Structure 1
Amino acid sequence: MDQQNAHSISGARDNKLEVSIGRQVRAFRKKLELTIAGLAKLAGLSNGMLSKIENGVASPSLATLQSLADALHIPFTAFFRKYEEERDVSFVRAGDGLIIERRGTRSGHQYQLLGHSIGKTIAVEPYMITLTRESDVFPIFQHSGMEFIYMIEGEVGYRHGNKTYSLTPGDSLFFDADAPHGPEALKKLPIRFLSVIAYSRFSEE
């Protein structure tokens, strides 16, 4: 990204914050049934400056925001509550999850990736796992991070470390994924469960 584009993005974010703050100032002012002139006088501002702040065309200093907060009898942080930056989002319609190949994927064993989100330090991978056929040999998984399993359909004996847990619909299992784990007995087919894996993105390096 070149410097000009970086400045444009930064400017857009700043403007979005100013607009959000301005809307909050106006909303709190109207809630108290104050005119622009009335609030400006209480906060020690000119009518023109307050109008610019409410319209998002002026960037108020912290001192100005504190004066407005005092005049409106609200905490300073109230001006920022409605401000929302764009965040990572993944929307997958029913049946549209990506079918992936991973160790353990075989006939009758389906791993459907429902999204993939990477934050600054944490990566999260949600899977819908469906088992429709019996198998004599089960894969043993072992990886960094934590894993959460929520049973939706069927019954499975799920091993974690030296213990095996019998999971039925509504049951859940949350564990350290660094220990050996995986389905050990398919007790009632078909089996369907949600698996969410979270791990440090630095562990991949």
Structure 2
Amino acid sequence: MIKNGAKGWPVKDFNSNADADLSTRTDITTAVGTAVHSLRMQAAMTLRELARKSDVSPAMISRIENGQVSPSLSTLEALAVAFDVPVISLFQNTVQKSDVAFARSGEGLQARRVAPGHSHDYRILGKFSNKSLHFSVARVTLNRADDGTHPVSHGSGFVTVSILDGACVYACGEERYRMETGDTLTFDAQLRHGVREILADEVTFQTVSSRPA
């Protein structure tokens, strides 16, 4: 906040920013403490048991859980190792917002894939992205009549393909996989991949893909 001084010069109110910074730190400290307590309860560990596994004193753990102290990164790492979870799990309660996609059976965002000599419709069931990751889920139906025209893809990240109905031959790199209802294939998206042959009138599958932003 900017205030005018006695001679009209702008004077910055440092106390306001300090209070805001303190409030933010307090909120994070409380959230981390709540996460530590919750994970300890889920693991059915006493303070002394957690202290023995993490080499952090019971008194310090108690203060952390009660939001009385901001733990160092090394302390957080030690606690995470003791819980066998990633460090980010200790910040789970600091998330202020999150996105959720819900698509009922048969619903989703209509989309169309167009490639040389081929096109097909599909439905996007969920799609998210942030500064580090792109994530999407789609349901695709292909017809046997289009055999030989299905596009081959490759990229970065990872892909999971699950057959919902029908059967097909799916190529992944140099390998070919006969896939039927209920089968799942997961692979590095750098490999050239795609449907090479449809073994029923049509095949419907779900893809889940994630790649770096």
Q: TM-score, normalised by structure 1?
A: 0.57
Cα gap change, 1:60 to 1:143, in 2 (>3 Å): same
Once the two structures are TM-superposed, the CA of residue 12 in structure 1 deviates from its matched residue by 6.7
Find out whether 1:163 has 2:175 as its counterpart: yes
Extract structure 1 runs of 4+ deviating beyond 4 A. 6-13, 21-28, 75-78, 80-83
State the shift of 1:7 in Å.
9.5
1:90 lines up with 2:100 in the alignment = yes
Q: Which runs of 5+ in 1 are unaligned?
A: 1-5, 33-42, 44-49, 67-74
Q: TM-score, normalised by structure 2?
A: 0.56
Work out whether residues 138 and 183 of structure 1, in 8 Å CA contact, stay in contact via their aligned partners in 2: no
CA contact (8 A) 1:159 1:181 kept: yes
**Structure 1 residue 82: Cα displacement:** 7.9
Partner residue of 1:141 out of 152, 163, 173: 152
Question: 2: distance between equivalents of 1:126 and 1:99?
Answer: 13
* CA distance 1:132–1:20, change in 2 (3 Å): same
CA contact 1:88–1:117 (8 Å) conserved in 2: no
Q: Is the Cα–Cα contact under 8 Å of residues 31 and 94 in structure 2 kept in the other structure?
A: no
- Which deviates more from structure 2 when the two are superposed, residues 18-27 or residues 173-182? 18-27
Deviations 1:75-109 (A, max 9, x none): 9779x858523264331221432122223573xx3
Q: What is the DSSP-based 3-state SS (H/G/I as helix, E as strand, rest coil) of the residue aligned with 1:140?
A: coil
Identity %: 21
Counterpart Cα distance in 1 of 2:107 and 2:190:
30
Q: How does 1:1-205 map to 2 (within 5 A)?
A: 14-20=25-31, 60-62=69-71, 81=90, 83-86=92-95, 88-94=98-104, 95-104=106-115, 106=119, 109-132=120-143, 134-145=145-156, 146-201=158-213
1:166 CA displacement:
0.8
> Compared with structure 1, are the counterparts of its residues 97 and 16 closer, same or farther at alpha carbon in structure 2 (3 Å cutoff)?
farther
C-alpha deviation, 1:168, in angstroms: 0.5
| Distance in 2 of aligned mates of 1:186 and 1:134 | 9
CA distance in 2, matches of 1:155, 1:119: 35
* Deviation, structure 1 residue 131: 2.3
Unaligned runs of 5+ in 2: 1-16, 41-45, 47-58, 84-88
Kindly report the root-mean-square deviation, in angstroms, between the aligned alpha carbons of the 2 structures.
4.2
